[in-house]
Amino acid sequence: MAGQIQQISVSKGGVPKLPVLGGEVGPVGILGDIQKNTKYHGGPRQALLWITAEGLDELKAAGFPVFPGAMGENVTTTGIDRRTVRLGQQWRMGEVIVEVTKMREPCKTLDPYGPGIQKAVYDPQVKAGDHTSPRWGLAGFYLAIVKLGSFSPGDPVVLLVDVA
| DSSP 8-class letter at 84 | G
pTM for the full predicted model: 0.96
Q: Is the C-alpha dihedral spanning 77, 82, 84, 86 positive or negative?
A: positive
- For β-strands 149-151 and 96-103, DSSP reports them as unpaired
End-to-end CA distance of the chain: 15
The residues, ordered by sequence, that sit 6+ positions from 32 with a Cβ below 8 Å of its Cβ are 10, 23
At residue 43 the predicted structure's pLDDT band, cuts being 50, 70 and 90, is confident
Domains of the chain (ranges; CATH) run 2-161 (2.40.33.20)
Percent of the chain with pLDDT over 70: 98
Beta strands in 29-80 (DSSP E): 29-30, 48-52, 75-78
How many Cβ atoms sit within 10 Å of the Cβ of residue 1? Answer: 13
At residue 84 the predicted structure's pLDDT band, cuts being 50, 70 and 90, is very high
d(C-alpha 7, C-alpha 125), whole Å: 28
Q: Is the C-alpha dihedral spanning 60, 64, 70, 76 positive or negative?
A: negative
* 35/133: higher pLDDT: 133
Q: In the chain, count H helices and then E strands.
A: 3, 11
| pLDDT tops 90 at residue 16 | yes
| pLDDT tops 70 at residue 38 | no
**Distance of CA 68 to CAs 11, 19, 153, Å?**
13, 8, 12
| pLDDT tops 70 at residue 9 | yes
Question: Residue 42 — φ and ψ, nearest 5°?
Answer: 85, -170
